[in-house]
Amino acid sequence: MILKAYLDSKGLIATLCTNGEEALKCFNSSEFDICLFDVVMPLMDGFTLAKEIKSSNPLMPIIFLTAKNEQDDILEGFRIGADDYITKPFSMDELLARIQAVHRRSSRSMTKPSTYQLGGFTFDAPRHTLTNGDDTKKLTSKESDLLLMLCENIGGTLERTKALEQIWDENSFLNARSMDVYITKLRKYFKDDPHVDIVNVHGVGFKLVVK
């Protein structure tokens, strides 16, 4: 109730549901821009609810709220297709910033192609999947966001500062190192395909090259 009052005070129209089953019925009978789910709820937990919603609307942005901070729980959330995950206790202002960031990314992706052919791979941006033949890899939210920005700039240079500001919301040293880790992971996914490469553009950023 406090969270709903806060979001309403910031100009958002928030709908409060007290259990997962109520939330699913509400979702199916109304229109929403983003879903904010607690993981632990009566009648239907947040993970199950998210699976139900993603099965009917794969593009719906979802943020999980939880007191849990175990790695397995966080990974499970991203495997389902969560766009972000915030653990309690949290700052209301931070949560609002995350909601706004996820909404910006999801709004941007709606105006772009949803799938990209990268050599032998098919990248499905809304579903966060990278498929090569019979092998489908589920990408994390940031892996998918970063690969999507590379695809949108294919053949050109994706500036580091632009990626950091849009995906991490801040151009800082720690976020820059984090982005380098994600670039390395993406390169590993494509390592067996000679037609796809992610190259460094020294001092500027990265370039996705598809031969």
The ranges assigned to domains in the chain are 2-108, 115-210
- At residue 208, the pLDDT reads 95
pLDDT along the chain (211 residues), means of 10: 89 91 90 88 90 82 78 72 81 87 70 80 91 92 92 90 88 88 95 94 93 86
Q: What does the alpha-carbon distance between residue 65 and residue 98 come to, in Å, rounded to a whole number?
A: 12
The domain at 2-108 falls in which architecture? 3-Layer(aba) Sandwich (3.40)
- At residue 174, the pLDDT reads 87
Q: Which of the four CATH numbers 3.40.630.30, 3.30.200.20, 3.40.50.12500, 1.10.10.10 does domain 115-210 have?
A: 1.10.10.10
114 HSE (CA, 13 A, CB side):
7
Classify burial at 176, counting beta carbons within 10 Å of its beta carbon; exposed 0-12, middle 13-18, buried 19 or more: middle
- Please, what's the b/e burial string for 30-44 (b: 16 or more CB within 10 A of its CB; e: otherwise)? eeeebbbbbbebeeb
- At residue 131, the pLDDT reads 95
Predicted TM-score (pTM) of the model is 0.51
Q: What does the alpha-carbon distance between residue 60 and residue 83 come to, in Å, rounded to a whole number?
A: 9
Structure confidence by residue, pLDDT tens digits, 51-76: 888 877 777 888 888 876 666 667 77
- At residue 71, the pLDDT reads 63
